[in-house]
Structure 1
Amino acid sequence: MPGSEAFRALRLLSRTSGGLLSGSEGVTRRCLTRSMVTEAQAQASSTSNPSTSAPVAPWDRPVQVMTYAFPSMEPARLVEYSQKQLQMPLRKDILHRAVVYEGDMSRQGTASTKWRGEVHGSHRKLMPQKGSGRARVGNKQSPIRVGGGVAHGPHPRDFSTELPAKIYDQAWRIALSYRYARGELIVLDNEIALPKNSTPFLMERILKDHGWSTKKGRSTLITADFDENLFDTMEKLKQYATIKDCSEVDVKNLLETERLVIERTALNRFFKWHSRDLTSKPAKARYL
């Protein structure tokens, strides 16, 4: 074995060198054995624990997003998100289905008219069929008479359509990914807040300085929580930007303006609310 041969060579060297390697033979053996064990452990650890700098697959690399501090817009830090959150491929068909679904869900469907059978009053014939020399008429509920019923008028109905929840969640992430790919998604590390005694001129100045005004297109500001002072101020600056609470945002709101200015907390809530297709577990087999 290599260990015994090395020990034999050391013993021969100690005899021929006249005490060059003086000392107890047991001490020499223990030192040599300890070094061999340490080397073996190092080799075992290197084989069992691979290097932490192993290459990451392209589909597993996180998306790094720079966040900014409001209102100075200085870079704050990098935040990592999954590719399934901010690097989804563009699917116009899914976006169209989501926008139509939201529009149908927002319709009240309360328009109502009365057909001739529902109009109040007597249903007798107004005049005899013949002998008057005038056109024949029926009762006063006829749709051709003033105050009569409405022919083929609207009645209360449900306009809502169905869309799978997983498809709707994908539409959310596709819209955010589309804005991120075009450089139109601005993530703020802190909340959008103004001093209590500030005037709308301050917010107008911030919008113009950062290019969020009408000169380069209107913007949509999305906050995590409702701030009455901020929302009242933005109500007077509708020509520059619109502001919404994260609970009021739809897929259509993510696509209708030139850019999105969103708080990091609100963005995390969106991903938490609309990731059901990523966290769902496969159906278990049923044994009869």
Structure 2
Amino acid sequence: MKVKVQTLDTGKGGDIELNDEIFGVEPRADILHRVVTWQLINRRAPARAARERSDVARTGKKFGKQKGGGTARHGDRRAPIFVGGGKAHGPRARVFASSLNKKIRALGLKMALSSKAKEGSLIVLDNLDVKDGKTKELQSKLGGLKLGKTALVIDGDALNVGFARASSNLESVNLLPAMGANVYDIMRHETLVLTRAAVEKLEARFNG
């Protein structure tokens, strides 16, 4: 698959040949759904348990008379109604984790990339150089690229410092290194922007 390489100045920077085994796979909704579900489950933090009556270190001795005190007949300081007492029916410790076959995860990422290429929502940039690292300057340049409402920009191993600084104030633009490319972030953005370095790293990631 041959794609035009653009620059931030909306000029053409030649062509690039994308590997059809990565960018030309027919997307399947069930595979993408499995990978996204797996990602979101593993993003959940573990649930912390609350201390119940058996976990609270307080005396179990009856602290008042059964009758004649004019109050309720309590027999245990660990009761939930007391400050410092154990919680009734509190949350239990849980770890939210899920596993998914590596081949399915890799296939899901290929399908996410292919989906953007098939929709025409994939843009390849020569580089992300922004001279002064100014948001206003970058915003005017991105306007010519027609990125839509949201865009995910993926760079090579290291992020371009100037672009990262300039795009940090743009809510519609998110930046990731090639190692951080994932199905969920790709699918939830309207446009996917890859640099030449990102294309090389992604192709090496699947071929290596």
- Normalised TM-score (structure 2): 0.86
State the distance in 1 between where 2:139 and 2:107 align: 35
Residue 143 of structure 2 aligns to a residue whose secondary structure is: helix
Equivalent of 1:247, from 152, 169, 179?
A: 179
Q: Once the two structures are superposed, what CA deviation does each residue of 1:185-211 show, in whole Å capped at 9, x if it has no partner?
A: 1112x221111x342111011122222
Equivalent of 1:77, from 12, 15, 21?
A: 15
- In the TM superposition, residue 131 of structure 1 has moved relative to its aligned partner by 4.9
State the distance in 1 between where 2:181 and 2:76 align: 52
- Ranked by relative contact order (alpha carbons within 8 Å, sequence separation 6 or more), the top structure is 2
State the distance in 2 between where 1:250 and 1:78 align: 22
The answer to whether the 8 A contact 1:86-1:174 is kept is yes
Residue 197 of structure 2 aligns to a residue whose secondary structure is: helix
Q: Once the two structures are superposed, what CA deviation does each residue of 1:113-156 show, in whole Å capped at 9, x if it has no partner?
A: 21222223222234344554544433222223332222333344
1:232 matched to 2:165: yes
Match of 2:30 in 1: 93
The answer to whether the 8 A contact 1:67-1:79 is kept is no
Which has the higher mean CA deviation after the structures are superposed, 115-124 or 131-140? 131-140
1:67 matched to 2:5: yes
- In the TM superposition, residue 94 of structure 1 has moved relative to its aligned partner by 1.3
Point out 4+ residue stretches in structure 1 off by more than 6 angstroms. none
Match of 1:223 in 2: 155
**Quick check: which has more Rg, 1 or 2?**
1
Match of 1:194 in 2: 130
* Structure with greater proportional helix content: 1
- In the TM superposition, residue 252 of structure 1 has moved relative to its aligned partner by 0.7
The answer to whether the 8 A contact 2:2-2:15 is kept is no
Equivalent of 1:103, from 9, 21, 40?
A: 40
Alignment of 1:14-25 (within 5 A): none
- In the TM superposition, residue 266 of structure 1 has moved relative to its aligned partner by 1.2
- Normalised TM-score (structure 1): 0.64
Gaps of 5+ in 2: none
Match of 1:28 in 2: none
Aligned-residue identity in percent:
25
Match of 2:200 in 1: 268
State the distance in 1 between where 2:145 and 2:136 align: 14
